[in-house]
Amino acid sequence: MSDNRTPGMLVQFDLNQNDRGALLRHCQIFRPASGDGREDARLVDALQALGQALLEVEREQPKTAR
């Protein structure tokens, strides 16, 4: 990500395990191709941040809640 980021934004989702897994897979495999390199790079950065957040939530949840 670039160094001129604005402060983070808190986003809260209420997702079941299957939906969270599907969203995570999309974050990991989707590659934008809009033709606007800067916009594509911003989207890649955002998807990477979302994917990392989803992985952190998954690690923090007790195994019985999965």
Give the per-residue pLDDT at 10: 85
Give the per-residue pLDDT at 29: 97
Q: What gap in Å lies between CA 52 and CA 56, rounded to an integer?
A: 6
| pTM (2 d.p.) | 0.76
Question: pLDDT digit string (tens) for 11-55?
Answer: 888 999 999 999 999 999 999 999 999 999 999 999 999 999 999
CB 27 within 8 A of CB 47: yes
Cα-based distances in Å from 12 to 15, 16, 54: 9, 13, 11
pLDDT band at 3 (very low <50, low <70, confident <90, very high): low
